[in-house]
Structure 1
Amino acid sequence: MKQKITKGKVIQNCLKVTAAIVVAGGVGFQFHEIQGLEKDLNTLKDNHANTVQELTQTTNYAKGLESELATITTENEKLSNKVEKLKEDNESLKKENSSLSDKNNKLKETEKELNKKLIEARERPRPVSTGNQSSSGNKVVNGVATAYTANCVGCTGTTASGKKVSDGMVAMASWVPLGTKVRITIPGYGTRVYTVEDRGGAIKGNKVDVFVESHSEAVNFGVREVKIEILD
């Protein structure tokens, strides 16, 4: 038996179909929205993992820098201490150098005074004594002796006789001919035979100038009373 389709039923059925379509569309939209959210969430998780990894690396790098900084700070402190020590040593050396310079200046002044005394002693005139005779008949005179050397400023190494100065030579006044052998007794040096090979502007009278090897020895020799025996 055929049912009669009324206009009202048609409208009702249309409304049902429309509602079903709307519901289906809403469900589809929610499904796509959920998929998009899940994709965004996964992206955020990946980004978060990468951020955590980078943060860990940065933290480790920062710790390494802190360690290097601590080492550099320690080395810097050591260097600072060394610099301070070097400054102290430098000041100490400056004081020591100043002290040595003062001592050197004093030694120079002393040397000048000794040289002056030596020159004065050489230039001091001595009268010629009348002399005596030894048991062998040789002339014996009392005189004064000083010493000279070729190893000093202004000194020469050649004698008045033209010979090179050497041990055993003496300088005497012109009353004793060059080449003459003389026996001289010098307190502290003993008795020895010398050869007269040199002259000197300050060598007068019974003065004799004995050659020695060094300037210091000449200064230490000073002035000594001696006995001179003319041998030939």
Structure 2
Amino acid sequence: MLSIGTGHAFAATTTYTVKPGDSLYKIAGKYHVTVAQLKSWNHLRSNMIRVKQKLKIQTKTPAKKVSSSSSSYRTITVKATAYTAGSGGGITATGFNLKRHPSAKVIAVDPKVIRLGSKVYVPGYGMAVASDTGGAIKGKKIDVFISSKKKALQWGRKTVTIKVYK
């Protein structure tokens, strides 16, 4: 199951020293954060890191889970399509590996409309994390990740009103 930010609030900052063989993806996985978050917290413009480099990592503390009855969300009506891991190489814009996690609930978004890392409820799909972008995903469009090509084609193209949680 996808655990990018779900049910947690960022509370404190810790420092991690990069070791030989480390990558942003490995470090993000170790701390259950996204590559995009690591880059943002450390003002990195690329995925390049150096051995002995100090990285700031915001640690998480348990928080109340977001429920669909929560009033802390905004609604957006979007055009929704589906994609598979094969159509983009399997690694999302935030560094999440969809091929390793075929049951993950992930959507691709336009980050100008929906912030990466946001929790989003999509009718007919469920709770998901905005973890990917796409060349055709501009404005009020989303792409839901479905591991099966057959099921992705069955999803088709639909207009849905989603809830984006704060």
TM-score normalised by the chain length of structure 1: 0.37
Look up the match of 1:171. 108
**1:157 to 1:135, Cα distance in 2 relative to 1, 3 A:** closer
CA distance in 2, matches of 1:194, 1:155: 18
**1:135 to 1:161, Cα distance in 2 relative to 1, 3 A:** closer
Matched, 1:138 2:100: no
Percent identity between the two aligned chains: 37
Q: Any gaps of 5 or more consecutive residues in structure 2?
A: 1-68
Higher helix share: 1
Higher strand share: 2
Matched, 1:227 2:161: yes
Q: How many residues end up aligned between the 2 structures? A: 93
Alignment of 1:73-152 (within 5 A): 136-151=71-86
TM-score normalised by the chain length of structure 2: 0.51
The equivalent position to 2:95 in structure 1, one of 162, 167, 179, is: 162
Larger Rg: 1
Deviation at 1:137, TM superposition (A): 4.4
Q: Any gaps of 5 or more consecutive residues in structure 1?
A: 1-133
The equivalent position to 2:122 in structure 1, one of 175, 178, 184, is: 184
Deviation at 1:155, TM superposition (A): 3.4
Look up the match of 1:67. none
Look up the match of 1:58. none
Aligned partners of 2:81 and 2:158 also within 8 Å: yes
Encode CA deviations 1:131-178: one digit per residue, 9 max, x unaligned. Answer: xxx971421011111000014xx5311000011124201000012221
Q: RCO greater where, 1 or 2, for CA within 8 Å and sep 6 or more?
A: 2
Which structure 1 residue ranges, 4+ long, deviate > 2 Å from structure 2?
A: none
Aligned partners of 2:109 and 2:134 also within 8 Å: yes
**1:229 to 1:216, Cα distance in 2 relative to 1, 3 A:** same
